[in-house]
């Protein structure tokens, strides 16, 4: 098993009365691509900045390779950061920017030159040494920022929503590039984003956060297929979330009907959240399913049709399908037992 390169112990951060982090416990393995995912204000950037050393925690510890670095300033930590708006030094050219950290360590001139060239090659910016920073496009600046951080050969790279300012196509290309780089260099990447698709694409492990707490940690497949609660289910992918009652093991009631399902371990007649993915609902002729409704809207999304079907209880089901039924058609909704996710109701925080 890879060893734990970073451990966060009971990390709490208060800002002038607002609790940004409410006690985070987490370990990060060496060489893993781990992503902190969540909406604005969930604490993901705060956690990253604490690891980088730009903020001090109100309480708790940060352990790096077994050493307590909680009070260590950023310039002594063996981590490097790629900032959201790149933060390149405008009065220096590309070469100088990348060489900055090496110069501080008083590296030999020839070695600097060699390492910078190697970095530029890694990020596909060969020949850009003398270019000025403001002559570069967003994507190019992004890659310089990455090169500037990586050239120092850190053990851990922190990335704070680095792709936010790029257009969609470029963003997707960079996602794959970053993944490739991480695997090639074999170092730990800690990534922060609010884009769940991005997290699912790149990560080995995802940490879903909300309101300063961790909601779930797992692989992309785990999080997507087995969300632990309604928040995670709603945040990752699209879901239909409806109130239900767990009658007994393997049997649940929702939308006015009873269904077989594959979950157990809940109390008898316990109120639960029922989560069903839009792509897991099949539209069948009305009489072929106990759950029925009328198609209210149809939107063509390229990859699939997105339809809203209102059932007789008034719930609007979101259905994704490659074929479509026109508006005002009466249809039946068919769901397999294994696609019905039952989760405990999330108590209000």
Partner 1 sequence: MKKAFGRFYLVLIFAFLYAPVLTLIVFSFNDSRSRGNWGGFTLKWYSALFRDRHVLSSLYYTLSIALLSALIATVAGTAAAIGIHNMKKILKSFVMNLTYLPVISPDIVTGISLMILFVFVRLNLGFTTLLLAHITFNIPYVILSVLPKLKQLNKHMYEAALDLGAKPLYAFFRVILPEIMPGVVTGFLLAFTLSLDDFIISFFTTGSGVSTLSITIYSMARLGINPKINALSTLMFIVVLALLLIVNKRSSANSKNGTAVMNI
Q: Which residue among 45, 152, 203, 216 contacts partner 1 (CB under 8 A)? A: 152
Does 85 engage in binding with partner 1 (CB under 8 A)? yes
Return d(Cα 331, Cα 309) in angstroms, integer: 8
Smallest gap from Cβ 115 to partner 1, in A, equals 13
Residue 32 φ/ψ, nearest 5 degrees: -100, 155
Alpha helices, DSSP H, located in 36-124? 44-52, 94-104, 109-122
Does 165 engage in binding with partner 1 (CB under 8 A)? no
Residues 187/193/196/198 CA torsion (nearest 10 deg): -50
Does 15 engage in binding with partner 1 (CB under 8 A)? no
Q: Which residue among 67, 104, 111, 176 contacts partner 1 (CB under 8 A)? A: 104
Binding pattern for the stretch 28-47 against partner 1, x by CB under 8 A and - elsewhere: --------------------
Does 107 engage in binding with partner 1 (CB under 8 A)? no
Q: What is the DSSP letter of 241?
A: E
Smallest gap from Cβ 324 to partner 1, in A, equals 47
Residues numbered 231 to 290 that lie near partner 1 (CB under 8 A) are none
Q: Which residue among 12, 63, 87, 346 contacts partner 1 (CB under 8 A)? A: 87
CB half-sphere exposure, 192, CA atoms < 13 A: 25
Q: Which residue among 18, 40, 75, 348 contacts partner 1 (CB under 8 A)? A: 75
Q: Which residue among 39, 73, 267, 285 contacts partner 1 (CB under 8 A)? A: 73
* Contact window for partner 1 (CB under 8 A) among 30-38, 69-77, 271-279, 297-305: 69-77
Of the two residues 118 and 264, which places its CB atom closer to partner 1 in the complex?
A: 118
Residues numbered 114 to 143 that lie near partner 1 (CB under 8 A) are none
Does 72 engage in binding with partner 1 (CB under 8 A)? no
Does 106 engage in binding with partner 1 (CB under 8 A)? no
Task: Calculate the CA 246 to chain-centre distance.
Answer: 31
What separation in angstroms does the CA of 80 have from each of 2, 12, 153, 159? Answer: 21, 22, 9, 9
Phi-psi region of 237 (alpha: psi -120 to 50; beta: other; left: phi over 0): left
Q: Which residue among 3, 10, 54, 180 contacts partner 1 (CB under 8 A)? A: 54
Smallest gap from Cβ 82 to partner 1, in A, equals 9
Counting other chains too, the contacts that 254-262 makes at CB distance below 8 Å and 24 or more residues apart are 255/291, 255/311, 255/313, 255/315, 256/311, 256/312, 256/313, 257/290, 257/291, 259/335, 259/337, 259/340, 260/337, 261/337, 261/338, 261/340, 261/342, 262/337, 262/338, 262/340
Q: Which residue among 2, 3, 59, 89 contacts partner 1 (CB under 8 A)? A: 89
Q: Which residues pair with 62 in a beta bridge?
A: 8
Q: Which residues pair with 291 in a beta bridge?
A: none
Interface contacts to partner 1, rule CB under 8 A: 52-54, 73-75, 79-81, 83-85, 87-91, 100-101, 104-105, 148-149, 152
């Amino acid at each position: 098993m890879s060893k734990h390169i970073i451990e966060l112990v009971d990390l709490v951060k208060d800002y002038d009365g607002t609790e940004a982090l409410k006690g985070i416990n987490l370990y990060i393995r060496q060489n893993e691509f781990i992503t902190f995912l969540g909406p604005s204000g969930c604490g993901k950037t705060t956690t990253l900045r604490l690891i980088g050393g730009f903020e001090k925690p109100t309480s708790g510890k940060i352990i790096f390779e077994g050493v307590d670095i909680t009070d260590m300033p950023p310039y002594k930590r063996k981590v490097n950061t790629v900032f959201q708006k790149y933060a390149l030094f405008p009065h220096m050219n590309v070469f100088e920017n990348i060489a900055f950290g090496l110069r501080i360590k008083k590296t030999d001139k020839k070695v600097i030159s060699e390492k910078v060239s190697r970095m530029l090659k890694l990020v596909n910016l060969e020949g850009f040494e003398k270019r000025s920073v403001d002559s570069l496009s967003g994507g190019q600046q992004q890659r310089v920022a990455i090169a500037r951080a990586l050239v120092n050969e850190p053990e851990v790279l922190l990335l704070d929503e680095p792709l936010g300012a790029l257009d969609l196509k470029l963003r997707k290309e960079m996602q794959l590039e970053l993944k490739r780089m991480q695997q090639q260099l074999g170092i730990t990447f800690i990534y922060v984003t609010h884009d769940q698709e991005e997290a699912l694409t790149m990560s080995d492990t995802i940490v879903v956060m909300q309101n300063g707490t961790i909601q779930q940690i797992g692989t992309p497949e785990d999080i997507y297929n087995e969300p632990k609660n309604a928040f995670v289910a709603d945040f990752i992918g699209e879901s239909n979330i409806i109130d239900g009652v767990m009658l007994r093991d393997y049997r649940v009631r929702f939308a006015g009907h009873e269904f077989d399902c594959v979950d157990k371990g809940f109390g008898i007649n316990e109120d639960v959240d029922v989560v069903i993915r839009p792509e897991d609902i099949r539209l069948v002729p009305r009489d072929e399913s106990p759950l029925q409704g009328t198609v209210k809207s149809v939107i063509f999304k390229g990859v699939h049709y997105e339809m809203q079907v209102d059932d007789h209880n008034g719930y609007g089901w979101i259905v994704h399908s490659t074929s479509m039924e026109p508006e005002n058609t009466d249809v039946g909704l068919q769901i397999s037992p294994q696609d019905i996710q039952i989760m405990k109701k999330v108590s209000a925080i």
